[in-house]
Chain A
Amino acid sequence: MTGSMDLPAKGGFSFDLCRRNNMLQKNGLKLPGFRKTGTTIVGLVFQDGVVLGADTRATEGPIVADKNCEKIHFMAPNIYCCGAGTAADTEAVTDMVSSQLQLHRYATGRESRVVTALTLLKSHLFRYQGHVSAALVLGGVDCTGPHLHTVYPHGSTDTLPFATMGSGSLAAMSVFESKYKEGLTREEGIQLVSDAICAGIFNDLGSGSNVDVCVITKGKTEYLRNHQLPNPRTYASSKGYSFTKGQTEVLSTKITPLKQKVEVTEGGDAMEE
């Protein structure tokens, strides 16, 4: 059979369905929404390394989808990345670059460098022209020292001593701008990061629940999941709720018997293990 064979897809997005989608939208179809993390993420450089922080609320519009999600993603044993924006995008892009870094470590036989992760992330995001909605705070310590970067959805990056991203970034940045100084100790760094995340949690409606912290120093990384839990449930009824049989109204009952008889055939092949 001769015919033209489709070339295998080279990767990237296929925009074939865009015209159809626009037509459907014009005819009144509502597109499904994306789950955004509506977040506060921060990072700062202290005397021995970097501290990263994040809140733990994931929202779908006005509803909290996940009260305790993880926004600090693993990239390498010495590099972690906080993600804001569309949850699927931050998850996918950090997983992908993390795998690429591991392969690179096997190929080079060396510890990964933060600038490597940075270049891989920014080139991927630029290639997708901002359609991959991931805003990241990348931090780590390698042989060249501690590094902290922000990465924007369109692929631009900044290198900073302290950084905040997400819907709560203004609340967190106000704390950093007031209290940050060079040469913070580990305890001061963790405290400042927690304060900044709390500012986002309490003043930004898109952020909430708990504080996650990650401290990266030369040779050692500590992932402090739920370092602070400042939002316990305020009231729980002591009476409780009972769901007794008969409490749910049965509107109608219909019983359909399935097979009347089961036939057993003699012989046949025995099942393979």
Chain B
Amino acid sequence: MARFDPYENNGGTCVAVAGADYCVVAADTRLSVGYSILSRDHSKIAQLADKCVLASSGFQGDIKALQKALAAKELIYEHNNNKKMSCPAMAQLLSNTLYYKRFFPYYTFNVLAGLDTQGKGCVFTYDAVGSYERTGYSAQGTGSALMMPVLDNQLKSLVLSYCQLRTFNTKLLLVQDAVTPLSESDAVDLVKDVFASATERDIYTGDRLEIVVINSSGTHRECIELRKD
């Protein structure tokens, strides 16, 4: 007997890389279902606050609902506290919102990124039910398994790995050392290359790449073409 399946995977991949004073967020713009393409020009990146951006892949219906819920909660926060939400505050809110639906989850794979209260780049990576962690970089979505090893190779520092082996309390070290020493243009170059590579091998990733760079001067958006097959 065929039961109604409430979920669907619309594919796509999201990536974010944190720098000393910038943050790069990128996602492809392909929306698919099964073997068909629904749209070649659908953005997966939503601006939640001034210096805070959410990139999500997974089930588009749940993504839209989640973005709406977060925007509403952000507005209430502004009214109550007379200030805009910071990125780490939004990170906690997203985690709570996801866990609230622990037994009928949002089918969303999120990467929250922006600048923290000190102006340093921050990236938060989530699973579908709200487990999150601040990291220096992350990839989520259908192409994430293809991208993470390359990002690990290029961005993970030797010092960080050594410390992880020697101490039990790695969280402190992770936060301090959680940004890449790469320049903004090098980070953007790496993200473009890694997306072009993932597009070669993942059928759900492709069409166009949307890159958002957040730094002290604001938010800058750029698009490059990817393989359309």
A interface residues (Cβ-Cβ under 8 A, vs B)? 38, 57, 59, 62-64, 67, 167, 201-209, 230-231, 233-239, 241, 247, 249, 251
Contact = CB atoms under 8 A, between A and B. Distances in A.
A235 B200 contact: no
Interface stretch (B42-50, B166-174, B186-194): B186-194
Contacts of A207: 229
Contacts of A231: 227-229
Contact of A204 (B36, B189, B226, B227): B36
B199 interface: yes
B203 A236 contact: no
B65 interface: no
B177 interface: no
A7 B221 CA distance: 72
A237 B192 contact: yes
B203 A59 contact: yes
A233 B195 CA distance: 11
Contacts of A230: 229
B159 to A, nearest CB: 11
A62 B204 contact: yes
Interface in B173-229: 186, 189-190, 192-193, 195-196, 199-204, 224-229
Contacts of B199: 234
Contacts, number: 71
B183 to A, nearest CB: 11
A235 B36 contact: no
B142 interface: yes
Contacts of B227: 208, 231, 233-234
A188 to B, nearest CB: 24
Contact of A205 (B154, B195, B203): B203
Interface residues of B, number: 30
Given A64-B202, A204-B35, A234-B226, 17 more contacts: A57-B229, A62-B203, A63-B201, A63-B202, A67-B200, A202-B229, A205-B37, A208-B229, A209-B229, A231-B227, A233-B196, A235-B196, A235-B224, A237-B189, A237-B192, A237-B193, A239-B189
A247 B161 CA distance: 12
10 contacts: A203-B36, A205-B34, A205-B203, A206-B203, A207-B229, A208-B227, A209-B229, A234-B196, A234-B227, A235-B226
Nearest to A67: B200
Contacts of A201: 229
The winner among B32, B35, B200, B228 for most chain A CB atoms within 10 A is B35
Nearest to B192: A235
B186 A202 contact: no
B158 interface: yes
A201 to B, nearest CB: 5
A235 B28 CA distance: 14
B204 A237 contact: no
Contacts of B226: 234-235
A84 B34 CA distance: 18
Contacts of B154: 241
Nearest to A208: B229
